Amino acid sequence: MKREWKRLRILGILGISSVLTMTCGAAGATLNPAPPLRGVYFVTRDRQPCSNYEQRLDRVMREVQRFYAQGMKQAGFGDKTFGLETNAQGFLRLHRVRAREESAFYGREASDKVRREVGESLKREGIDIDRETIVIFQTLLQWTGDRAVEVGPYVGGGSHLSGTAWVYDDDRLDSELLSSKAPGGYYGQPCSLGEFNSHYIGGVAHELGHALGLPHVCETQAQRASRGTALMGGGNHTYGSNLRGEGAGTFLHPVSAMRLAHIRVFTGDLPQAADRPSCRLREMNARFEDGKLFLEGRLESDIAMSGVGAYDDWTRIPDDYDAIGWLGELRSDGHFRIVVETLRRGQSQMRLTVAHVNGATTTFPVDYVVDAAGQPELGVFRTCMLAAELNELFRRQDLVQLAARIRELEKIDPPIPDLVLRSRHLMELLKPQAPQSLADIPSTQNKASLSLLRLDVEEVGWGRPFRDRVLDEGDRPIWLQVGNQFYARGFYAHAPARHVAQLTPGWKTFHAGYGLQDGADGSVLFVVRGDGRELFRSSEIRDHQPRQVEVKLDGVSTLELVVENAGDGNAQDWGVWLEPELRR
């Protein structure tokens, strides 16, 4: 199953569709008037629908619906869950889409292809896919003898407003078989029908979680012993195993429940639902006692806050499957307290996450180190607050206060040289200079920074192009940062992005760093072209490690820098070019 999640971008103000809703399967739980989740059945040209798919998938989705309601209630948020669009017979309504191509056309990275065809089909029914939460059941799990092969995309992505999950259907997929120990399933190897359904119904629940805006989060050892595996960790593989006496099963993590409490398909269209909160970290203190990390501080927000938590993500593993979640306490005055009870030695990122009553979230990432003795670096948590304050002064374009804050930072003992450097960079950004023509570079100058030059094309897939900084989204640092390293020069290049420069004679090489901006969970590819010919193509980038590229420019007159999505949409695809230079 794909290991990354993506948030789909939402365009415009969202409205409620006029469709049927239903009562939650949990006893006594009546859904709020909210747009229901929609089901789609995607059949490739060389396949037929699986047998009895309407009744089976109705049972599957009611089971997943029940799971979320139970998880929300156990986490203390009431038995909220999503509604289902139903047909005249009372079953889950499945909008059937006949694919244009055969199964082989829709590979693992074909989520965009599938979604595009589904979107076109739904549009003919008056449904805008970008305004809905949708689960696409695909006939892309294929059997060769007794072996099942996953052919198509198996992924999910979305936000509190809308999203999409791509999952599989199969004749054996049925929640009534979760308890079965009979043979006949397959997942990496022959297994029981019950285990088959654990993996694939668990996959429906997991990818739907991504479609609802949930990131990965795993359980603590104590939770694993008592409750099983968190759904948004590895819980897609243990779902329902408790019914067969093969483990504790799967649970909805409290941090996930916190984020779901006010999303659109659970609560309806809330005031300011499409607004991005302006949330500020006003105080931040960290202390380490008795093996526990205590994070305490104060938050302010223009949209009321409903909860706070943290994801402690060990960077030794390049994705966030190992991020342990911790639910905190939030008072009405904005003061919060989070207790992180276990720490892992090495580099980690602590993502302080705030949930708001409009369903949105705000995240403050802090990179820190736990030494060999188990002692966490504490000063960086205060630095995080100072960085947030500097970014706010930049947004207000308050040169006077920013200059005063820089003078104060320069006097801090012990010094924080990296933060001083970043704050000075913000001051430079507030005094921009016009780009220089490459033709005006003297022949004696051996290097030229592309971000200081006039370009012919600057295009990005989200927001607008920026040089030497990234798009301002409130909870992110404005400066270019990959792997917690600051870069003064470069391009914000959210996929799909394109930067083009016409070269003058004499430039021999192009050199640059590249990577995924810290705090973004996308997947991107970097490409360098000369006169339309591809000179370099990176591997798929999903981590936050800076990389380097150098290509020869002999005879090249047009240099083109491209950032592509990795085939699963461009949400969170914050590609950045770092210190891009021409060299003679």
- The Cα–Cα gap between 151 and 132 comes to 25
Note whether residue 259 is domain-resident. Answer: no
Residue 323 has a pLDDT of: 92
- The Cα–Cα gap between 501 and 218 comes to 45
Note whether residue 424 is domain-resident. Answer: no
- The Cα–Cα gap between 169 and 196 comes to 12
pLDDT by residue (tens digit) across 437-455? 999 999 899 999 999 999 9
**Rounded mean pLDDT, 288-310:** 95
Least confident segment among 9-13, 334-338, 485-489, 524-528: 9-13
In this predicted structure, the answer to whether residue 10 has a pLDDT above a threshold of 50 is no
What is the band of 2 on the pLDDT scale with cuts at 50, 70, 90?
Answer: very low
Residue 20 has a pLDDT of: 27
Residues 501 and 561 in one domain: yes
What is the band of 8 on the pLDDT scale with cuts at 50, 70, 90?
Answer: very low
Note whether residue 247 is domain-resident. Answer: no
Note whether residue 364 is domain-resident. Answer: yes
Residues 66 and 152 in one domain: yes
Give me the number of domains the chain comprises: 3
Could you list the residue range(s) of the whole structural domain that residue 489 is in? 438-583
Higher pLDDT, 427 or 32: 427
Note whether residue 4 is domain-resident. Answer: no
Residues 302 and 366 in one domain: yes
Note whether residue 240 is domain-resident. Answer: no
Residue 31 has a pLDDT of: 38
Q: Read off the CATH number of the domain in which 476 is found.
A: 2.60.120.1060
Structural domain ending residue among the three candidates 159, 190, 215:
215
Residues 548 and 480 in one domain: yes
pLDDT by residue (tens digit) across 360-372? 998 888 888 999 9
Q: Read off the CATH number of the domain in which 386 is found.
A: 2.60.40.10
Residue 474 has a pLDDT of: 58
Note whether residue 257 is domain-resident. Answer: no
**Rounded mean pLDDT, 159-174:** 96
Residues 451 and 385 in one domain: no
Q: Are 528 and 510 in contact (CB under 8 A)?
A: yes
CA dihedral (304, 310, 316, 321) positive or negative: negative
pLDDT by residue (tens digit) across 98-131? 999 999 999 988 998 999 999 999 999 999 999 9
Residues 176 and 51 in one domain: yes
Residues 68 and 211 in one domain: yes
Mean pLDDT estimate for the chain: 89
DSSP string, 106-128: S-TT-HHHHHHHHHHHHHHTT--
Q: Which two tokens stand for residue 537?
A: 């193509």
- The Cα–Cα gap between 479 and 531 comes to 31
Q: Token match 């590819």: residue?
A: 525
pLDDT by residue (tens digit) across 132-150? 999 999 999 999 999 999 9
Residues 64 and 211 in one domain: yes
In sequence order, the 6+-apart residues with CB closer than 8 A to the CB of 470 are 476, 477, 478, 479, 480, 492, 517, 574, 576
Structural domain ending residue among the three candidates 395, 429, 464:
395
* Single pTM value for the model: 0.77
Long-range contacts of 30-35 (CB under 8 A, 24+ apart): 31/80, 31/81, 31/82, 31/83, 32/80, 32/266, 32/267, 32/268, 33/268, 34/82, 34/83, 34/264, 34/265, 34/266, 34/267, 34/268, 34/269, 35/83, 35/132, 35/133, 35/264, 35/265, 35/268, 35/269
Residues 156 and 76 in one domain: yes
Q: Are 325 and 311 in contact (CB under 8 A)?
A: yes
Residues 372 and 459 in one domain: no
What is the band of 7 on the pLDDT scale with cuts at 50, 70, 90?
Answer: very low
CA distances from 222 to 323, 341, 438, 501 (A): 15, 11, 61, 56
Q: What are phi and psi of 14, to 5 degrees?
A: -90, 145
**Rounded mean pLDDT, 217-243:** 95
Note whether residue 125 is domain-resident. Answer: yes
Strands (E) located in 207-278: 229-230, 250-251
- The Cα–Cα gap between 438 and 15 comes to 49
Q: Residue 298, CB half-sphere, CA atoms under 13 Å: how many?
A: 5
Structural domain ending residue among the three candidates 334, 365, 395:
395
Residues 100 and 171 in one domain: yes
Residue 26 has a pLDDT of: 36
Residues 363 and 468 in one domain: no
